[in-house]
Amino acid sequence: MIRTYDIDQRFARNNSSTEAFDDFLDRVLDEFDALDVEADYLADLSTLSATWTVSVPAADNMVGMVSALTALRTALHAAQCATADWTTLDDIRAEAERPSDADNGHFATA
């Protein structure tokens, strides 16, 4: 079964333009393609935030969330983005247990 997750993310400004941020997001999409993962995003360039939509094959919601977040982190790293404050597996488990969010596949990272 294919499961789709929306993952909200905010980025730190590094003194570059909003055009550079948009280019970065496109590089992340290229890395998703290299991983053979279906993904897209909506972004707010003024706040440096993005909502990633990531689709992965998974038998259940927990496996799907872990796979989607792993694919996103891998794509971010390949696009030269640090993820030092990344969400932990315990955070993912806690989110998965929240019925309102787990049912719609929404997971927010800060």
Higher pLDDT, 47 or 88: 47
> Quick one: CA torsion of 104, 29, 9, 46, rounded to 10 degrees?
-120
Higher pLDDT, 39 or 62: 39
Higher pLDDT, 92 or 25: 25
pLDDT at position 91 over 90: no
pLDDT at position 35 over 50: yes
Instruction: Supply the pLDDT for residue 110.
Output: 43
pLDDT at position 63 over 60: yes
CATH number corresponding to 2-108: 3.30.70
Report residue 100's pLDDT band, with 50, 70 and 90 as the boundaries: low
pLDDT at position 23 over 70: yes
Instruction: Specify whether the backbone of 36 is left (phi greater than 0), alpha (psi in -120 to 50) or beta.
Output: left
At residue 30, what are phi and psi to the nearest 5 degrees?
-60, -40
Instruction: Supply the pLDDT for residue 99.
Output: 64
